[in-house]
Amino acid sequence: MSKLEAFLAGDRLDDVALFLTHEYLDSQGKLPNLGEEVENGYVLVVDGDDGRRAFAAGTGMDAMEFAQQATGNKSHVERDLGGGECPDSAPDENHQTRFIFAFAEEQNDGVGGLYERGDVVHAYAHCTCGTDYSDRWVVGAEDETGVQPGEDEPAEAN
């Protein structure tokens, strides 16, 4: 199982995952060797502290501040963290995902809701247009929780 697969399965709760475009990684030299290639870039799965540092270095933003800023705006993020659907996208515009920051949270019966169902992956995305958005889903129920492709509300809200 790759690091990314393990992260997506909820087996790397102390790590964070970063999706970064080829453009960013090309400018950073050796980082591609650490990542896994996805459609439009790379996903790196690294220790939480290293990941937050890499995120700050690459984006000029604090990861948790970015997450807070993105959290109120729900939209679909691909379950392999390879991109997402910008909520502000229009047919003739370019809305590529510039980066994604994700972490996983352990199942927690005390919190209830999604957290009772299993480990939860939180993903925060930034679009080239400047919009931030977020999605979260339960490991093992990726198609039943969080925002599904083409939708604008989390499936569990219905």
Binding site for Zn ion (CB under 5 A): 86, 88, 95, 127, 129, 131
State the pairing for strand pair 41-47/132-138: unpaired
Residue 75 CB, shortest distance to Zn ion, in Å, is: 9
- Other Cβ atoms closer than 10 A to 86: 24
Residue 71 CB, shortest distance to Zn ion, in Å, is: 17
Q: Is 135 left (phi over 0), alpha (psi -120 to 50) or beta?
A: beta
Cα–Cα distance for residue pair 154/91, rounded to 1 Å: 23
Alpha-helix runs per DSSP H in 9-121: 22-26, 48-59, 63-70, 114-117
- From 141, 153, 80, select the one nearest 114 (Cα to Cα): 141
- Pick between residue 67 and residue 139 the one whose CB is nearest to Zn ion: 67
- Pick between residue 87 and residue 154 the one whose CB is nearest to Zn ion: 87
- Pick between residue 54 and residue 123 the one whose CB is nearest to Zn ion: 123
Cα–Cα distance for residue pair 93/97, rounded to 1 Å: 13
Residue 26 CB, shortest distance to Zn ion, in Å, is: 22
- Pick between residue 59 and residue 131 the one whose CB is nearest to Zn ion: 131
Residue with tokens 């093992």: 140
**Gyration radius of the chain's alpha carbons:** 15
Residue 130 CB, shortest distance to Zn ion, in Å, is: 7
Residue 110 CB, shortest distance to Zn ion, in Å, is: 36
- Pick between residue 129 and residue 141 the one whose CB is nearest to Zn ion: 129
